[in-house]
Amino acid sequence: MQTSMKITRKENYEPKELNLHETLFCSANGYIGIRGTLEEGVPEHFPTMRGQYLAGAYEIIPMKQAESLCNLVEKKQTMLNICDTQTIRLTVNGQEIDPFSCKVTDAERVLDMGEGYTERLTHYSLSSGGQLAVRIRRMAHFAIKELFTIEYEIEAIDFTGEAVFDSWHTPEVANYSDPDDPRLADESPCYLTRQELAYKGSMSYSVTKTKESGVVIAAATEHIIAADDKAESMIREEGGSLITRIRIPLRKGRKVTLLKYAAFSDSIREKEPRQKVTGLLSRVTVISIKQLYDEQKAYLSKFWERSRMSIDGDKELEDAVCFNMYQLLCAAPRDPHSGMAAKGLSGEGYEGHFFWDTEMYVVPFFILTDPALAKNILAYRYSTLPAARENAALVGHKKGALYPWRTITGVECSGYFPSGTAAYHINGAISYAVISYHQATGDDEFLLTMGLEMLIETARLWLDTGVYDRKGRFNIFEVTGPDEYTCMVNNNYYTNASAAYNLRCAADLYEKYRDRTEVIKLTKDLGITDLEIDAMKKAADAMYLPYDEDYGINPQDDAFLDKPVWDLASTPKEDFPLLLHYHPLHLYRYQVCKQADTVLAHFLFPDLASRETMEKSFRYYEKITTHDSSLSTCVFSMTASMLGLHDEALSYFGDSAKLDLLNRHENTKDGVHTANMGGCYMAIVNGFAGLRIRKDGLHISPFLPKGLRSYSFPFSYMGRKLKLSVDEDKAVMELTEGEGCAFKFFDKEEMIGKEKPWTHGL
């Protein structure tokens, strides 16, 4: 199996491109994230987001409401730019080496997804006439999550002289802001106060603390020189930074390598963060960098063995899909102390907040490729269940839990409740993920210790929210569905459908496991009654799902079809995305969708509508959806696949898969779109391959899109490892680990065993 996949880009040092490359060549491992900024920095007028982040590290800041109405959110959490340890400036023979003052003869960036590093390769022509080659390799280590390394190698190709490295350790840095973009913070203060800044021998270390949340951040750096000649080294403090200066002779044709090790820790995870980082560097710096690289490669080899997707017929598409999967790994939390941000750890878009995106679009990827990481994400949500109960009480509920629309610690961070707190469907996404994880893994331990409690409490929220009308239908009023261009509506189809699923599954799973010790205790702790479980089943059965006989579709909500249709064809191109150019109230009064809403409901809950209704709905919403959200085209692709609309499925998929690599929304500079990356995976696996794991087991119904010769991918199911391959003539399934099992191929019962691959014509 090939494990060395590379993304290579020429570097022209144009401001907009550099800003984009900061995201695309970010180094992250689920705990630390370092933007791919230039070590030497950029000119002042260049746009840049020079950031280093730790998953779940946050500050609490004011979010003053214009009118302080009851229980409106007036504080929020924001991610931290924790410090700057990536700055290294090089001087050769008295000349500062950077692409803005030196002549660059060649430059490129590399992301090696098999080896797990990013690299800058630059050739300079010096004013003295010499030629200098510079290679800078960065690595956020997957096995040692607190560790980040920079290998800075220079070669004097045709001259001798002297090199001076100045390497910074700056503990107090500011966050990024853009007051003109609601997806970013509108202020850029430093949220950290320095507690310690010192060095011992050649190791520097710092300790900072946030002013409100009290989170402590520790960082340490160490330098090692690999060269034929002895280097001179000293550390000085200057302007609140510790600067390590290393002076080394250069010899013609010889290489000099500076290894910079940085370690990070926080008080969320460690009692003594400073001891953690200094102790870690003391141990790591006696290990060869080659050993660290080998460990990284071994980690990724196992990851790609579980997840590597092959697409024959479109190399660019295959590269994009691999890039997306790699970025998901870089963003996924390695412990239950943090969720997964909408931008992962690649930038400050959405201020590092966690949304429903993770459970609905990312968890499905990890369920099939790394169930342990999926469990981590869900365990974080369980840890914030008390805060979700408090959130429900704040908005007036007597029972149940309402997960926040955007958060870091579990507390609501959305100041605009119509498209924030009112998006109750986040409960549906979290409950759907819990159920999907259990159906795919059979992990009863998780269900009984965490999952069932989450399902019961989210189901209670629906019971407390909904009301029965005179016709006996269960209605859910004043909520916002996935489409944020239509807010505060009655009976959003998607919300009602996901609520019904949540209610039904909570009741069924409770009854299935009610005699288990853990559930007996849960029943007592939560005061669960048979009457309450019956009420859940009754509400699920009576859930009102809007249907319009004139159009033969499921309306997005009760009033949606009564509004005028937005004239998308006449809307100037520069007015997209609409949310940046039109007042929300103006948008709410029209039939116009930011993203898939009812279309997503049809994909997730296909048994709730006829195929004819779903296809008519698909065609209707196709005409009025802007896809301003990155979460949209992937959903249209997988729903088109389900409906047999294969050409449409491929068209929507291509847009989704290449969104970040081609910067199609022109905002990748703020961070990658992790949810879209998960949705891209789903568009192939759940869409093209028709792989669905339901209550009755594994289903596949594959097709091969036009223009492709084949595709294949491995996946996990109930502890087994399988691989599905599809070409023009057939589908082949292999069982590579575990016992044989039954599955359904286009609803026909089949069996797969270890003896030989299962094959069926298409």
List the catalytic residues: 484
Answer whether 138's CB lies under 8 Å from 148's CB: yes
- Six-digit token pair at 729? 């003539």
Query: Which three-class secondary structure state does DSSP give residue 715?
Result: strand
Task: Look up residue 251 and give its DSSP letter.
Answer: -
How far is it, in rounded angstroms, from Cα 13 to Cα 99?
7
How far is it, in rounded angstroms, from Cα 540 to Cα 496?
9
Query: Residues 540, 545, 550, CA angle at the centre, nearest 5°?
Result: 160
Strand 161-169 with 88-92, pairing: antiparallel
- Six-digit token pair at 287? 């290990």
- Six-digit token pair at 310? 């092959």
Distances (CA, A) of 363 to 483, 654, 685: 21, 21, 13
- Six-digit token pair at 526? 């939560």
How far is it, in rounded angstroms, from Cα 603 to Cα 645?
13
Half-sphere exposure of 373 (CA within 13 A, CB side): 25
How far is it, in rounded angstroms, from Cα 680 to Cα 664?
14
Spell out the residues 6+ positions from residue 238 whose beta carbon is closer than 8 angstroms to its own. Answer: none
- Six-digit token pair at 499? 């609520």
Instruction: Give Rg (Cα) of the chain.
Output: 27
Answer whether 502's CB lies under 8 Å from 430's CB: no
3-state secondary structure string across 291-337: HHHHHHHHHHHHHHHHHCCEEECCHHHHHHHHHHHHHHHHHCCCCCC
CA 235 to chain centre: 38
How far is it, in rounded angstroms, from Cα 141 to Cα 51?
18
How far is it, in rounded angstroms, from Cα 262 to Cα 440?
39
Total Cβ atoms within 10 A of residue 65: 12
Answer whether 735's CB lies under 8 Å from 755's CB: no
- Six-digit token pair at 701? 């119904």
Task: Look up residue 229 and give its DSSP letter.
Answer: S
